Structure 1
């Protein structure tokens, strides 16, 4: 597992690069994603460990999947992501761990993330529709999760899979006494 400072450095580099590629100032990105300019500045300098909710807002504002914020901009696209090299990040608010399973920089519309979610923890993502559109499938590998998507709530047990677009607020809650583990498969839909 890479240390937090290394992961925060990756996030900082990637956010700076993506913002620059889009020709956005800190103020413009702040307005676009709903994250304060001062928080964006701290993130870009690698001086804070942003929460999952902040990173999700940032990814939505930049038009990329959240998983891409953990990519190393200097890495070569390889078709294999070795377990020892996969980036692991812990949300400082909920304590959930996410491992980016997919190879970095490999041009694919699909990303796979492995999540370990602590007992009784909860995370709510407020972002709505994405451009480009993103579909996600959440496959419960161990334990159980309660997922609220828009006005619907789903009780998921080991082996269950929920497929929903990222176009409405979504909340993840582990109601159990043991950690839950699930895979998230994200697919970006290219507009024609």
Structure 2
């Protein structure tokens, strides 16, 4: 008869093996789609050819540091390594997403959908504190910003102009254009921010 601790260990091993399989499948798919050899991928990521081969074959359990190097070197998000291609529907609860960037008393930003080489955009959700403000989150010249006001009344400062924004308002800001969003109310405000890399690159 298995002890409780042994049952827990078995469950953990099973879950890890599923994660390893996903990473193996996705890494191989990404390499093939980019017409990369293992040598090329090794040069881009700083991870050895032998290690990459072991990961693709499911023979190695990559560390978080290794996964970070692969994602950074290939300019992809963690999502693309962990999620399966068959995941046609993915429901995200913003409250469960990790904080991407935060300035105490000013704003809090969560990344909803990170960059993926199969698409050319990122989606964020930001909460702006009462009397708080936030500036642009990227300086990429090709990143066009699309903002949707979800809650609250806001002021948008851009190009020496001030625009009043209310829930439901949509804003497009050209790449490289500086802006600031200010919440002068006594209530929290919330926006959705989509970064579209309209030249098809993200470097």
Alignment TM class, shorter chain as reference: 0.5 to 0.7
Q: For residue 90 of structure 2, what is the aligned residue in structure 1?
A: 80
| CA distances 1:16-47 after superposition (whole Å, capped 9, x unpaired) | 656655xxxxxxxxxxxxxxxxxxxxxxxxxx
Contact 2:128 2:134 in 1 (8 A): no
C-alpha change, 1:190 and 1:140, in structure 2 (3 Å) is same
Structure 1 length-normalised TM: 0.53
Q: Secondary structure at the match of 1:101?
A: strand
Q: For residue 112 of structure 1, what is the aligned residue in structure 2?
A: 123
Q: Does 1:153 align with 2:156?
A: no
C-alpha change, 1:128 and 1:111, in structure 2 (3 Å) is closer
Which segments of 5 or more consecutive residues in structure 2 lack a partner in the other structure? 1-64
Q: Does 1:162 align with 2:171?
A: yes
Deviation at 1:179, TM superposition (A): 0.6
Structure 2 length-normalised TM: 0.50
Of structures 1 and 2, the one scoring higher in RCO (CA 8 A, sep 6+) is: 1
Contact 1:100 1:113 in 2 (8 A): yes
Deviation at 1:110, TM superposition (A): 2.6
Q: For residue 189 of structure 1, what is the aligned residue in structure 2?
A: 198
Deviation at 1:187, TM superposition (A): 1.2
Q: Could you say which structure has the larger radius of gyration? A: 2
Q: For residue 98 of structure 1, what is the aligned residue in structure 2?
A: 109
- Higher relative helix content: 2
Distance 1:16 1:175 in 2: 41
Which segments of 5 or more consecutive residues in structure 1 lack a partner in the other structure? 1-11, 22-67
Distance 2:114 2:137 in 1: 27
C-alpha change, 1:75 and 1:102, in structure 2 (3 Å) is same
How many residues end up aligned between the 2 structures?
A: 133
C-alpha change, 1:104 and 1:139, in structure 2 (3 Å) is same
